[in-house]
Structure 1
């Protein structure tokens, strides 16, 4: 239990009325969870204003409320004021959990692509070097043996601090986390200093009414991480690096392939064997050794270079890095699944045109006999995505199998027709098979020597969402069932 004075120490949050010695039993930002003695933070969201529930939380026994607006409450309820309650929530959460980030080496990764894979690579290498590492990301949070499914790339600030606190409790000495532009904009990682901040790359994404107003705003929000970390590691090849560095307060180290950098990849060799794709290269600069990765593509080189740069800070041995990089896997991110010696099959989360184009372009560098792409699009989402993904697959795949993804409240056939509209803008060959298992079976049954089959869109997801209900559907299980029935 903490007092109001404990929680607001060192912040710009002011106590407008009430006693600073008031004891607080819980910190809450969801009005439905307020109990006797809670401190309630009224957050203004896109659709709901937490200030509308002040009377409700007072009735439930709140000891205090944190507000941005003037409110009227009984005299026994403390009123605290801030200029931005999202920032206030982050600062209060850090204090509530005794500033766990100060007890860990926290590594934050921001960028349009590569965040998820890089977090797992870093975790793998550091653990091979004997450290105990927690993870917070798009797929899940990992705290010891616990795997907690994620709903956001970066959770709300209270949850971030809670997770970090739990990591400290079980003896973690490091944590690696994905930091989205939304998280930086909404102060979800406020109240803490990162040991290392990482920039992977940036391209137009997440721009719209409920996200970023334009690319400049998107880039600015990404850059905020580098005013909140001690050391920065940056992709030297990204054309927007100068914009990301604007206002940085951290040290700067770079990695890259094309431009001079502190960690450079030389002699890149794409490796293709029966049912297998990978890549070899030599890292030069601040580290010098040979690298082998069982994940194909140039972007895998970037991700692994970044991981090497991080581990350089931790003085990880070359042997530990080589071993971990060879073993690093990420569920649903260029995940190779062995089904045949004749062709390769992979599962990837690519669920928009930009990600799909990047993936297909990378695989094309291996000169496969054919690229066969199996994908659908989610329902109740922009139709433009369907047209764009159809056009990309038609242009870059040799054969496309249009199928169902998460139709939600739309008819799968209607979504598939939209994808077909995009593919018809190209000369790409295609077939439409609504049942996803049957679509995958068709791809495997008709696989030819030298093919690469890509199952795109679902990635780590192990469900299919239909009319408000999630049904179990894991592509790995579907593949196993198909192979068992052959």
Structure 2
């Protein structure tokens, strides 16, 4: 892209200083100074704070876009452009323009909410592949398409990387992309420049209050996905209005996007009410009332277990119908969805008399949902093992303790990713949430030891929930990232105790 073309496309960008020719070409755009080439445009994120000035000065890039309020020095040989906006919010659209706007040639479906994003993207991708569609996933477990799997390190990648991923998917023949849209990614503008065809909202419960000043800002950040839909024709949104935060989310979306087509999922008040839920260790069944267009009351059977997977599969089913996919084929595919990494992932003892469940639940609502779902399978005893991440929202720690006390027979407290916090202080914060004389079955900061103790304590017909890390195959202690996999430790423990 020529510099002159950039200035024509984005009137909010002005050249501040530097010697340049309008015909000079900008190769690409980046928000990460470590990935810059000489002819790239460096969009210095506002989130960099005062360090942004150092990143800009030390950058080997010739073209620098900064916020109007940022003061930097050592600019010899550089072309400085300024904007009143956060430069990061422009990186996505610029990258999209340079790459030929790949998302306009794809069908991108964004999924947002506190819990369920990963499950929904995997379910939707499987349903699409079962319909003969070529599908890709972008999210917490990485980027997946055409048999390839790579890790970006973020739920929603930075705007430049995201556009490159979309371009690669397009070039590979992908048709549908199911993408987790995190509140961070939406608020920071990482998804700017992505044209979404549909948006799905699962729920909104307490999380990320170390980043968002309050729950209202959290909700409004999630709603940015739906406001982007209203800018384009033939788009739609799906909202679980019975989920926590669902009605507030629907009300806010409708206030900012009056004409956007919305489907409301709900047990009672939604236009797609759910009833007659039944649960076992083999399958989950429920009835969903569809519109006349899709055949009214429909029984859904799925191999995914638990009440929260009623919500996940119903959201995916309605979204897929909105995309025009075949109803009967969808119903068939819902019966055999592959296990989703770290989401109600079941590990049995050799004789299947004992069970462990690995789940990514790391918020109060997610922990409550997974415990209730395991309870529905009627284990003889339920032991909950969990911790809380360090350097993150501390207010949720005692809440999770109270939930575990109420819903599990025994509770084991251990470390999650303590990061730079003292693991024992984190455990103190959690334990403060227990009511009365209650004390944990075990308090052990070493997660491997805690898991082995939990497995050794399982009686016949009982279940150990190992919550918090899910698909993650690492543990962050201090600033060191060490290999650690809950599933591996569970298997080791079953083997070591001859179970």
Q: TM-score, normalised by structure 2?
A: 0.86
What SS is found at the alignment partner of 1:45? helix
CA distance in 1, matches of 2:154, 2:78: 33
Structure 2 residue ranges without an equivalent (≥5): 230-234
CA distance in 2, matches of 1:277, 1:101: 39
Deviation at 1:424, TM superposition (A): 5.5
Q: Does 1:290 align with 2:299?
A: yes
Q: Deviations along 1:337-390, whole A, 9 cap, x unmatched?
A: 232533432111112333212322333344433221112333444554443322
Residues 208 and 393 of structure 2 are in contact (CA less than 8 Å); yes or no, is this contact kept in structure 1?
no
Residues 53 and 73 of structure 2 are in contact (CA less than 8 Å); yes or no, is this contact kept in structure 1?
no
Q: 1:443 and 1:71, CA in 2 relative to 1: closer, same or farther beyond 3 A? A: closer
What SS is found at the alignment partner of 1:20? coil
Q: Deviations along 1:108-145, whole A, 9 cap, x unmatched?
A: 01112211111111111001111111111122121333
Residues 266 and 273 of structure 2 are in contact (CA less than 8 Å); yes or no, is this contact kept in structure 1?
yes
1:301 is matched with 310
Q: Does 1:378 align with 2:415?
A: no
1:407 is matched with 418
Q: Does 1:239 align with 2:247?
A: yes
Q: Deviations along 1:29-78, whole A, 9 cap, x unmatched?
A: 33344433222222222544434444434xx351x322322778979754
Pairing partner for 1:333 from 343, 350, 353: 343
1:14 is matched with 13
CA distance in 2, matches of 1:457, 1:83: 40
Q: Which segment is superposed worse, 446-455 or 232-241? A: 446-455
Q: Does 1:201 align with 2:203?
A: yes
CA distance in 2, matches of 1:9, 1:328: 48
2:66 is matched with 67
1:204-215 alignment, distance < 5 Å? 204-208=206-210, 211-215=211-215
Residues 223 and 245 of structure 1 are in contact (CA less than 8 Å); yes or no, is this contact kept in structure 2?
no
Q: 1:258 and 1:338, CA in 2 relative to 1: closer, same or farther beyond 3 A? A: farther
Q: 1:254 and 1:365, CA in 2 relative to 1: closer, same or farther beyond 3 A? A: same
Q: TM-score, normalised by structure 1?
A: 0.89
Q: 1:204 and 1:386, CA in 2 relative to 1: closer, same or farther beyond 3 A? A: closer
1:461 is matched with 472
Q: 1:343 and 1:294, CA in 2 relative to 1: closer, same or farther beyond 3 A? A: farther
Q: 1:421 and 1:32, CA in 2 relative to 1: closer, same or farther beyond 3 A? A: closer
1:83-482 alignment, distance < 5 Å? 83-84=84-85, 85-208=87-210, 211-229=211-229, 230-237=235-242, 238-240=246-248, 241-248=250-257, 249-261=259-271, 263-271=272-280, 276=281, 278-286=283-291, 287-288=294-295, 289-325=298-334, 326-339=336-349, 340-381=351-392, 383-410=394-421, 412-423=423-434, 425=436, 427=438, 430-482=441-493
CA distance in 2, matches of 1:293, 1:428: 38
Residues 28 and 95 of structure 2 are in contact (CA less than 8 Å); yes or no, is this contact kept in structure 1?
no
Q: CA RMSD in A?
A: 2.7
What SS is found at the alignment partner of 2:88? helix
Q: 1:378 and 1:232, CA in 2 relative to 1: closer, same or farther beyond 3 A? A: closer
Q: 1:32 and 1:382, CA in 2 relative to 1: closer, same or farther beyond 3 A? A: closer
Residues 379 and 406 of structure 1 are in contact (CA less than 8 Å); yes or no, is this contact kept in structure 2?
yes
Residues 200 and 237 of structure 2 are in contact (CA less than 8 Å); yes or no, is this contact kept in structure 1?
yes
Q: Give the total of aligned pairs.
A: 475
Deviation at 1:224, TM superposition (A): 1.8
Q: 1:353 and 1:425, CA in 2 relative to 1: closer, same or farther beyond 3 A? A: farther
CA distance in 2, matches of 1:418, 1:311: 42
Q: 1:401 and 1:52, CA in 2 relative to 1: closer, same or farther beyond 3 A? A: closer
